[in-house]
Each structure stands twice: as structure tokens, then as C-alpha cells.
């Protein structure tokens, strides 16, 4: 029996890993372990560890790695320590990490230093700021890559990864989006005490290298949202450096008839809320990935998702009040045509099939850099 460890640190990455966990869990050849850390264990973000535990998908390991206002590098170091300790008592055959968060980087570091194979989900994608650097670093530390599409595969090849180690399975969250697992809208509205059925969604995360201007940027977002006279569901930002600055501004949106503030949501409930929304505004990846799949307009503010996939549904703006307000007014004119280029809803099935293939195990952990150009004769 193979022991597979899935590492999750946020409400978002668990939603993407869950279809893979469920697909693999159907086969008795695998023992599933879920390493839960990061925002999941913080009460202020909704203690979403409870969602993980309620699903009963595997052996749960709780790895507390941070406290409020702790800097990111300290959290990274603590996460490395916690994952390493979890590995001591459990002989994992593979550790699966997702995306571009510090938890994924910590998992990849531990895997490499312990000679434990690492599989990276959704590598090869581009974004703005430090997130892109972390994502590519995780890819270079990983032995296996399960990517969303061909362009992501090509970027990993540019990074010197072996073509044989890269598998296109699509984005796992599409499995949930295209499934019949979503609750109906009324159930979502009742669960989260939302008094309106026409609304926008606000998710604005910190950009760590813009910390000096973050209060001004967040204030401009809130001013534009307030002046629009629309209803909004405001989801708490992630726990990166600067989150308290943003939350202070979001707290100025006080009218309960127009604004509902949520620390977090179950992934399936969030998807239905997004699917039924007028638009999403902020700098979350949900605006450039999930929203596009549903044909929901997205206002993408600033640099955080700067290099992400573009479509006619996405309105890119700077951080000024005028541009943000203009984009909000323009959302009603956008044709809601779904833009779907990240999978067919069968990522879990493909992932399980690859792991179950005859030539997948054992995994080679000795990596070599693959040159994409002929560098013979080039001077050092």
C-alpha cells in the first residue's frame, strides 16, 4: 500500500486538491494522509480545518505553523519544521503540494531533503509579484508535475524539467465546478445569512512588495465599492503580510443591508455563490480562473494576477478609484460567455490513472536539468 500525503494550507488549495484525494481514495492500494496547516488552523479565517475533518477523506495531521502578525519567512521555517516532524513517524511514498503558497514551498523543501518524491499541482503558470517566484521554485524542487494545460507544460520545459515528468490533467477545481455537487443558491444564501440575491464578490489580497501603498490601494477599492450602490459579499483576505491593513479598510463597509463579511466559505458553496454573482472584484485567482469558466465578469485590480490568463470577461485596472469605479459600471455590459481552457472536469480521474499505471512507480528522485537550447561551445 502506498502512503500519499496531500499538503493543504488554505481554503483555496484544499478545494483544488480534494478531487484528487477523492479519486485516489477510491483505490484501496493507497492510504491517504492530509497534512493540514496555515490558514486552516486560524480561527480568524474561519477554522477551515473543520471542513477538512468533516470530509473524512484520510488520516489528518494538524501542523500549526504560524500566529497572527508573524512574518512569512518565519512561517515558512516553522512549516518546514512541522512537515519534517510529520514525515518522521510516517513513511510517505509521495507528497502532493499545490500552487504558489509558502506551505507548498515548505513541503517541496522537506521532500527534496528527505529524498521523498514531490508532486506539484498547477505548476508552470504565471502571475505577478512573489507568488510566481514561489510557484516556479516549487516546480524546480518537485519531481512530478500535474499541470492545467499545454502552455503550463511548455513553461516547465523552459525551466529545464523533463517532459516525461509532466502530465496534463487540467485544473482540479474544474471537477467540482462541472459536477452536480454544488448546493443550490438558496441553500448558500441561507447558510451564510445573505439577505440579497443580486451581488458582487470582493476578494482583495495583500501584495507583499507593495506594502507601503497597500492602505491607499485598499481604500480606493472600498470607496469604489461603496459608491457603486450595489450589494457585496466581502471575503476576508489571505494571511500574507499586509492582511490587517486591508481588513481595516474592508471593515469600513458596514451597512448590513449591502455588505456581508465572511471569514471563509466551503469551496462548493463559494463556487455556487460565484456562479450566481453579477461580478467579482479584487485580485484573487478566482477572478481569472473560476469566474471565467462560469462566464462571470471579473475586475482584476493591480499586479497580483498581472500575467494570468486573459479573456474578454476580465477588466484589468490599476489601483486608482476612478479606474475601479469605471470598471464596476462596465460589468453590466460584458457578454457572459464562459471561457474554458483549463480542463474538462476529469482531473481526479486522470491523476488516479497516472499513479496507477505500471511505469509510474518507483519514482526517480535524481533530477537533472534539461537544456532547451544547445549550449555547447558557449563560454562560461
pLDDT for 57 beyond 70: yes
pLDDT for 377 beyond 70: no
pLDDT at 378: 62
Distance, in Å, from the CA atom of 150 to the CA atom of 141, rounded to the nearest integer, reads: 21
Same fold flag, 2-178+344-355 and 185-333? yes
Helix (H, G, I), strand (E, B) or coil at 28: coil
The vertex-191 CA angle with 189 and 193, nearest 5°, equals: 60
Sign of CA dihedral 196, 200, 203, 207: negative
Hey, which CATH number is domain 2-178+344-355, 2.40.440.10, 3.40.50.2000, 1.20.210.10, 3.20.20.70?
Answer: 3.40.50.2000
By C-alpha distance, which of 25, 18, 33, 291 is closest to 175? 18
Do 184 and 178 touch, CB atoms closer than 8 A? no
As a whole number, the mean pLDDT across the chain is 93
- By the 10 Å C-beta count (0-12 exposed, 13-18 middle, 19+ buried), 354 is classed as middle
Higher model confidence: residue 378 or residue 84? 84
Q: What is the DSSP letter of 40?
A: G
Task: Taking residues 245-269, report their average pLDDT.
Answer: 95
Helix (H, G, I), strand (E, B) or coil at 2: strand
Displacement of CA 149 from its chain's centroid (Å) = 16
Task: Taking residues 137-158, report their average pLDDT.
Answer: 96
- Kindly list the strands in the beta sheet with 166-168, ordered across the sheet, starting from the edge strand earlier in the chain: 59-63, 30-37, 2-8, 94-98, 118-121, 144-147, 166-168
pLDDT at 70: 77
pLDDT at 267: 92
Distance, in Å, from the CA atom of 323 to the CA atom of 316, rounded to the nearest integer, reads: 9
By C-alpha distance, which of 111, 129, 99, 105 is closest to 14? 99
pLDDT for 19 beyond 70: yes
Close Cβ partners of 358 (under 8 Å, ≥ 6 residues apart): none
pTM beyond 0.85: the answer is: yes
Do 250 and 234 touch, CB atoms closer than 8 A? yes
pLDDT at 311: 81
39-43, 263-267, 307-311, 313-317: least confidently modelled range? 307-311
Q: How confident is the model at residue 68 (pLDDT cuts 50, 70, 90)?
A: low
Radius of gyration of the chain (CA): 21
pLDDT for 285 beyond 60: yes
4-18, 44-58, 126-140, 277-291: least confidently modelled range? 126-140
Q: Domain residue spans in the chain?
A: 2-178+344-355, 185-333
Q: How confident is the model at residue 305 (pLDDT cuts 50, 70, 90)?
A: confident
Give the torsion through C-alpha atoms of 208, 73, 368, 354, to 10 deg: -80
CATH number belonging to domain 185-333: 3.40.50.2000
Do 145 and 158 touch, CB atoms closer than 8 A? no
Give the N- to C-terminal CA distance of the chain in Å, as an integer: 47
The count of C-alpha atoms lying within 13 angstroms of the C-alpha of 114, restricted to the half-sphere facing its C-beta, is 24
62-76, 179-193, 214-228: least confidently modelled range? 62-76
Displacement of CA 225 from its chain's centroid (Å) = 24
Distance, in Å, from the CA atom of 19 to the CA atom of 35, rounded to the nearest integer, reads: 16
For 160-177, how does the pLDDT look when each residue is reduced to its tens digit (9 = 90+)?
999 999 999 999 999 999
pLDDT at 376: 65
Distance, in Å, from the CA atom of 136 to the CA atom of 55, rounded to the nearest integer, reads: 31
Do 301 and 281 touch, CB atoms closer than 8 A? yes
Task: Taking residues 250-268, report their average pLDDT.
Answer: 95
Grid cell digits, residue 269: 458553496
Element (H, E) at 88: helix 72-88
For 73-120, how does the pLDDT look when each residue is reduced to its tens digit (9 = 90+)?
999 999 999 999 999 989 999 999 999 999 999 999 999 999 999 999
141-155, 207-221, 339-353: least confidently modelled range? 339-353
pLDDT at 306: 79
pLDDT at 130: 83
- What is the maximal distance between C-alpha atoms in the chain? 69
pLDDT at 379: 55
For 325-358, how does the pLDDT look when each residue is reduced to its tens digit (9 = 90+)?
999 999 999 988 887 778 889 999 999 999 999 8
pLDDT at 89: 84
pLDDT for 72 beyond 90: no
Amino acid at each position: 500500500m502506498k502512503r500519499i500525503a496531500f499538503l493543504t494550507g488554505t481554503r483555496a488549495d484544499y478545494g483544488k486538491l480534494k478531487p484528487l484525494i477523492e479519486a485516489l481514495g477510491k483505490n484501496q492500494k493507497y492510504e491517504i494522509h492530509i497534512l493540514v496547516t496555515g490558514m486552516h488552523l486560524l480561527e480568524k479565517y474561519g477554522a477551515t480545518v473543520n471542513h477538512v475533518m468533516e470530509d473524512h477523506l484520510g488520516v489528518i495531521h494538524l501542523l500549526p505553523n504560524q500566529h497572527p502578525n508573524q512574518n512569512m519567512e518565519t512561517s515558512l521555517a516553522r512549516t518546514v519544521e512541522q512537515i519534517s516532524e510529520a514525515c518522521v513517524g510516517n513513511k510517505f511514498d509521495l507528497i502532493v503540494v499545490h500552487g504558489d503558497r509558502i506551505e507548498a514551498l515548505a513541503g517541496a523543501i522537506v521532500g527534496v531533503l528527505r529524498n521523498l518524491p514531490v508532486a506539484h499541482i498547477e505548476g508552470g503558470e504565471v502571475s505577478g509579484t512573489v507568488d510566481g517566484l514561489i510557484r516556479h521554485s516549487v516546480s524546480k524542487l518537485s519531481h512530478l508535475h500535474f499541470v492545467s494545460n499545454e502552455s503550463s507544460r511548455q513553461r516547465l520545459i523552459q525551466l529545464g524539467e523533463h517532459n516525461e515528468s509532466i502530465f496534463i490533467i487540467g485544473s482540479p477545481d474544474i471537477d467540482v465546478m462541472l459536477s452536480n455537487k454544488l448546493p443550490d443558491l438558496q441553500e448558500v444564501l441561507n447558510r451564510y445569512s445573505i439577505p440579497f440575491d443580486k451581488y458582487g464578490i470582493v476578494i482583495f489580497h495583500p501584495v507583499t512588495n507593495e506594502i507601503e501603498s497597500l492602505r491607499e490601494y485598499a481604500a480606493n477599492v472600498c470607496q469604489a465599492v461603496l459608491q457603486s450602490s450595489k450589494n457585496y459579499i466581502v471575503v476576508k483576505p489571505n494571511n500574507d503580510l499586509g492582511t490587517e491593513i486591508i481588513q481595516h479598510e474592508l471593515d469600513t463597509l458596514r451597512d448590513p443591508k449591502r455588505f456581508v463579511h465572511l471569514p471563509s466559505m466551503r469551496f462548493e458553496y463559494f463556487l455556487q455563490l460565484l456562479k450566481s454573482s453579477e461580478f467579482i472584484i479584487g485580485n484573487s485567482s478566482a477572478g481569472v480562473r473560476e469566474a471565467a469558466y462560469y462566464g462571470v465578469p471579473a475586475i482584476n485590480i493591480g499586479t497580483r494576477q498581472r500575467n494570468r490568463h486573459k479573456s474578454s470577461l476580465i477588466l484589468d485596472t490599476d489601483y486608482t478609484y476612478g479606474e475601479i469605479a469605471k470598471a464596476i459600471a462596465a460589468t453590466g455590459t460584458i457578454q457572459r460567455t464562459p471561457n474554458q481552457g483549463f480542463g474538462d472536469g476529469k482531473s481526479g480521474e486522470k491523476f488516479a490513472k497516472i499513479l496507477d499505471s505500471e511505469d509510474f512507480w518507483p519514482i526517480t528522485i535524481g533530477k537533472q536539468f534539461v537544456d532547451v537550447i544547445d549550449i555547447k561551445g558557449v563560454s562560461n
